[in-house]
Amino acid sequence: MQHVLDEVRPLAEAFVAADRPLYLVGGVVRDLLLGKERAESADVDLCTPAHPDEIKRIVGPLADAVWTQGERFGTIGLRIDGRDYEITTFRAESYEPDSRKPEVSFGDTIEVDLSRRDFTVNAMALAVPVPELIDPYDGAADLAAGVLRTPLAPEVSFVDDPLRMLRAARFIAGYGLEPTADLVDAVRANAGRLEIVSGERIRDELDKLLVTPDPSAGLWFVVDTGLADHFLPELAAMRLEQDPIHHHKDVLAHTIAVVAKTRPERLVRLAALLHDVGKPRTRAFGDGGVTFHHHEVVGARMARDRMKALRYSNDDVEAVRQLVYLHLRFHTYKMGWTDAAVRRFVRDAGDHLAELIDLTRSDCTTRNQRKAATLARRMDELEERIGVLRQQEALDAIRPDLDGQQVMAHLGVGPGRHVGEALAFLLEVRMEEGPLDHDEALGRLDAWWAARGGAGANGGPPSGASPTA
């Protein structure tokens, strides 16, 4: 605690000199009570009765930089010695029922400001520079007891900012807090209000939930309360039995277990969450039981569409789409893979090979120890083969053994479709046989060119093709 207090002392003393109190608020107070270390890069939030113009005058002589994007909401940002701070005027804000943006009014007391915060465990303040805990809603006691409550009635809190309902899932998962019955009832009653929240805000909160050490409790919360129906309806749709006769685990239970097993990294957790979303649409029953043929293909499209709706970046969408599409690829390895198949596995995974391997390992949630051990052994073997091929060739950057300029120079042709086709042929040879030396690559190119009706080296394009097509 002393480290944070020492950091904010110059700011606090400047506010004292201006006859204005200053308080640490939010996560920094909660984490101080928990004895948690905060990242060096973490922002520090403070509040004061001073209005934005006055805040700027007080911090101006101390700050290395000041930014005012949040000034209309009462927030001034600043940087001192590499640390970012946000200082916000006491608030008494609320949302209109059909609005995404708050109507902000400034308050006069710390107690009113804290009453507008999301949960009691966040509705605490620490006066500085002389530390004094301000805890009008018993947040410290709730933190100790593992209880998640809102400072005001939960209906009021969630109407003010519907995103708080999704944030509750993160606090349930990340801090092991048990929501009160009235909080759960309020989420069920107001879940539909989440639809006025922007996709970007929902996306960011979902990401924060997914990278908690174990998001399971939070994911069950959003499904059980109906909250997921309004931003990720595919989750509830997975709550079906894989085999209604033998009552195997349902797809949703399996999915949440897979999420918990993967590394707490955003993209692999997103892929784990979405890897089986195609199963409800592909479920079929036959003599052998239930099947989900091609659910990875259907699921990849569904994952892409859902992530676009939540405003994920194109790179994130493509990474997760590909991971969902490839998550079953490993299971053909039991039939024995050639080196070419290993190369294709690595090539198709691209920059996300580590995530694909993690997802594939985590996708095994069977309680059958023999089956689990067999799957782990096969994955170990595949990783060993990837390692051996990496030592022998540039496995992570597989390209044709000739480039486009070399193809055109050797064949005596200009740019055109035939050059791309030649490179595709050479890439296929590279995948199947590994790297060729230069002369052998030219010989294989000549044979391919001749088979297409070309004239061999320096012989021009085949019949019907223009050198500049």
Q: Report d(CA 323, CA 296) in Å as an integer.
A: 9
Same domain, 389 and 404: no
What is the CATH classification number for the domain harbouring 188?
1.10.110.30
pLDDT at res. 240: 73
**Mean pLDDT calculated for residue range 114-129:** 95
Q: What is the mean pLDDT of the chain?
A: 87
Same domain, 385 and 409: no
Same domain, 12 and 131: yes
Q: Report d(CA 145, CA 435) in Å as an integer.
A: 63
Q: Beta strand pairing status for 147-148 and 178-179? A: parallel
Which residue carries 């749709």 as its tokens? 237
Same domain, 409 and 440: yes
Same domain, 391 and 404: no
Which residue carries 């507008």 as its tokens? 116
Q: Report d(CA 69, CA 50) in Å as an integer.
A: 17
Same domain, 386 and 336: yes
pLDDT at res. 39: 62
- Is 457 part of a structural domain of the chain? no
Two tokens at 380? Answer: 């170990």
The 10s digit of each residue's pLDDT in 19-63 is 999 999 999 999 889 888 766 657 789 999 999 999 999 999 999
The 10s digit of each residue's pLDDT in 387-405 is 877 776 666 667 777 888 8
More confident position, 406 or 390: 406
pLDDT at res. 99: 58
What is the CATH classification number for the domain harbouring 45?
3.30.460.10
Which of 379, 396, 413 is the endpoint of a domain? 396
Same domain, 87 and 171: no
- Is 278 part of a structural domain of the chain? yes
pLDDT at res. 142: 97
- Is 239 part of a structural domain of the chain? no
pLDDT at res. 462: 52
Q: Report d(CA 327, CA 360) in Å as an integer.
A: 6
- Is 303 part of a structural domain of the chain? yes
- Is 254 part of a structural domain of the chain? no
Same domain, 115 and 175: no
Same domain, 110 and 206: no
Which of 76, 105, 139 is the endpoint of a domain? 139
Predicted confidence (pLDDT) at residue 248 exceeds the cutoff of 60: no
Same domain, 170 and 297: no
The 10s digit of each residue's pLDDT in 78-109 is 999 888 999 999 987 555 555 556 566 788 89
Which of 104, 139, 174 is the endpoint of a domain? 139
Number of structural domains (the chain) is 4
Q: Over pLDDT 90: what percentage of the chain?
A: 55
Same domain, 152 and 275: no
The 10s digit of each residue's pLDDT in 157-186 is 998 899 999 999 999 999 999 999 999 999
- Is 409 part of a structural domain of the chain? yes
> What is the maximum alpha-carbon separation in the chain?
90
The answer for residues whose C-beta is within 8 angstroms of residue 79's C-beta and 6 or more apart is 63, 64, 65, 85
Same domain, 7 and 49: yes
pLDDT at res. 463: 44
Q: Which domain holds residue 333?
A: 261-396
- Is 238 part of a structural domain of the chain? no
- Is 469 part of a structural domain of the chain? no
Q: Report d(CA 409, CA 459) in Å as an integer.
A: 11
